[in-house]
Every structure is written in C-alpha cells, then in structure tokens.
Amino acid sequence: MDHFPVFTHSIPLPSVCSRIERKVGQNPKDDSKKKGDLTEIFTVSGKQADDTTGASKTKSKVKKNLIDKMEEISEKCRAYAVVAEDAEFLALIKFMKSELQIMADADLIKTTETFITNVLPKLALIANYDLTQGNMDELTAFKSEYMAIFNKPKGNVQDTAKLTAKLNVLFTLADAVLAKIDAIVQSARKSQPDFVNEYKRKRIIPKAAKRTRSLQLTVLDDATGLPLAKANVTVIKKAGSDLVKNVKRSGKQGKVINAIMADGEYDYEVTFNGCVTEKGSFFVNDGITTEVVVRMKAS
C-alpha cells in the first residue's frame, strides 16, 4: 500500500456499507482477524491525522497571540517615548514583528521577558497612552502559555512516527480486505456517487516528506538587512551526554545549515569584524527545521 486509508464515522454510510460487510464476511479467511486489522487501520490513521495537526496548530495560535500583544503594547510605549523624547527607552522597546515571527522559540521567550522588564518601570508614565497592568498581565500569560507548549510538536512528531510504523504492519495484514472493499465501493459508483467520491477522498493521504535539515541560521547586517558572509558561528549543545561544539562560517547568503543535530537546546555565538558579538539560544526538535535569524550591529 502506498497510501494511508482514512475512513471516518463522519462520512454518511449508505447501504453500500452493509454490502461491504456482507461481501467481506463471505470468505472465512477474511472474517474476524482481517476485519479487525481493517478497523484498527481506520482508527490508527484517524489518530495520525489528528496528531499531525493538533499541537502545531495550537502552538501557532499561541505564538500569534503573544506577538500581537507585544506589538499592541509596543505601539503604546512608542507613542510615549516619542512624545517624551525618551530615545533610550524607545531603543529598548523597538522591534520588528517579522523578526519575532521567525525567532527561535527560546529567543522569543527571552525577548518577551526582556520587553516586560523594560516596560514595567515606565507603566505609570505610559498609562496616559492606555497601557494598563491588565495588558502586561495578558502578555505574561501568553508568554507562560507559549513556554508550556513550544516543545509539544516534538512529541507530536514522535507519536506520528510510531503510528505510521504501526500502519505499515497493518497494511500488510489487511491489503487483501482493502482491495475487496475498493472494488465493492467502486461498484456503487453510479448508484451512490457522493459516497464513492467521499470514500476515495478520505482513503488517500500522501506521505509527508522527511526533514532535510535541523538548523538554518541566517546572519544579516542590522543596518542594511543584507546577508553577511564569512561570519563566525559557534553552536554549543547546552546539556546532555552528547556535548557538541560546532564552528562554521556563514555562506554567501549569510546562512549556516546543519543537517543532523540531536534534539535539545543549543547556544549560539556569532562574531564578525566591526560588529558586536551576538549570542542566543534555540531548540532542535526531531522532524522540524529550526530557523534562526541573527542581526549584527556595528560596534
């Protein structure tokens, strides 16, 4: 079998289903064992479909809430800073939404914490610009929610892999039954076309491509936004038995790519002549490419 069958209870089950049950059950070789295998395929593949979307979608939603709230608060802080001519504070709370969106998980958490630390002492002054303690509490809550979930897709991918392996075994056992069901369903093409089309649509899910790299780190000139080639990039695994230290130079497009890295948290340090050294951290999760953007500022 090259495809995963997914046949859910949400599909209307007309008379063709009872015909399938009768036809499949006519051969003693096909009865309880293989019909049990078939039922398990439907169950497992349904779990797999849920597993590939649930945690990732929730993570994306929480991340969006966090970034949107930071942007909302930042606009109020910026209004205060401009009117008060507080250039130092303006520099502390200034950020680009697009940069937050592509930050590594750990960096986004740290950026949020630093932002909160910088804003709270000015809260009374910014109150005139509609910033409240409630706004800050909301931001803190979004940060905590994101911290609780940003590692979940890792386990999600591992669960999906286990389910896929189980499906591969079940396919071998149930191929004969599936072939008969396909033929029986096809025989109802003219009498019940909607059911047949829905069956075919749910029956096939293309296999997803495997991850080709663990990390893609991009080094940019903060002033111009252009890529910086030949920047020195050092990556060190923070904990665990496999101590890894990797030193590379960025390519023409400012990129450093690592194809295979163990799961876990890593620190990075980027240096470039005439620029301030930039440090940060990121997580590597199996099955997910981590993208990190580092902007180098002139020293």
pLDDT tens by residue, 209-239: 444 578 889 999 999 889 999 999 999 887 6
Residues 148 and 242 reside in one and the same domain? no
Residues 91 and 10 reside in one and the same domain? yes
Query: Backbone phi, then psi, for 236, in 5-degree steps?
Result: -130, 130
If 0-12 CB within 10 Å is exposed, 13-18 middle and 19+ buried, where does residue 86 land? middle
Percent of the chain with pLDDT over 90: 33
Residues 199 and 59 reside in one and the same domain? yes
| pLDDT in the model for residue 32 | 54
| Spatial strand order in the sheet of 278-284 | 245-249, 232-237, 264-271, 278-284
Q: Please compute the mean of the pLDDT values over residues 159-173 and round it to a whole number.
A: 58
Give yes or no for a contact between 121 and 87, defined as CB atoms under 8 angstroms apart.
Answer: no
Give yes or no for a contact between 298 and 274, defined as CB atoms under 8 angstroms apart.
Answer: yes
Residues 147 and 239 reside in one and the same domain? no
Note down the domain range covering 32: 1-208
171-185 residue pLDDT tens: 555 566 666 777 777
- The enclosing H or E element of 262 equals none
Percent of the chain with pLDDT over 70: 64
What is the pTM for the complete model shown?
0.40
Q: Side chain identity at 272, as an amino acid letter?
A: F
- Kindly indicate the confidence band of residue 278, based on its pLDDT and cuts at 50, 70 and 90: very high
Q: What is the mean pLDDT of the chain?
A: 75
Q: Which residues does 253 contact at the CB level (< 8 Å), separation at least 6?
A: 218, 227, 229
On the question of pLDDT at 261 being above 90, the answer is no
Nearest to 20 by CA among 171, 179, 193: 179
18-60 residue pLDDT tens: 555 555 455 555 455 555 555 655 565 555 555 545 566 777 8
Give yes or no for a contact between 82 and 165, defined as CB atoms under 8 angstroms apart.
Answer: no
119-135 residue pLDDT tens: 999 999 999 899 999 99
Residues 9 and 145 reside in one and the same domain? yes
Residues 29 and 55 reside in one and the same domain? yes
Label residue 72 left, alpha or beta by phi (over 0 means left) and psi (-120 to 50 means alpha).
alpha
On the question of pLDDT at 1 being above 50, the answer is no
Q: Which DSSP symbol is given to 6? A: -
Q: Where are the alpha helices (DSSP H) in the chain?
A: 15-24, 32-51, 54-84, 87-93, 97-102, 105-119, 123-126, 133-149, 152-186, 193-203
Give yes or no for a contact between 64 and 28, defined as CB atoms under 8 angstroms apart.
Answer: no
Q: Which DSSP symbol is given to 85? A: T
| pLDDT in the model for residue 194 | 83
On the question of pLDDT at 7 being above 60, the answer is no
Q: Please compute the mean of the pLDDT values over residues 257-270 and round it to a whole number.
A: 85
Residues 120 and 187 reside in one and the same domain? yes
If 0-12 CB within 10 Å is exposed, 13-18 middle and 19+ buried, where does residue 217 land? buried
Residues 26 and 147 reside in one and the same domain? yes
Total domains in the chain come to 2
Nearest to 175 by CA among 46, 5, 48: 5
Residues 227 and 292 reside in one and the same domain? yes
Residues 149 and 113 reside in one and the same domain? yes
77-117 residue pLDDT tens: 999 999 999 999 999 888 888 888 888 888 888 899 999 99
Residues 119 and 159 reside in one and the same domain? yes
Residue where a domain stops, chosen among 158, 186, 208 = 208
Residues 182 and 250 reside in one and the same domain? no
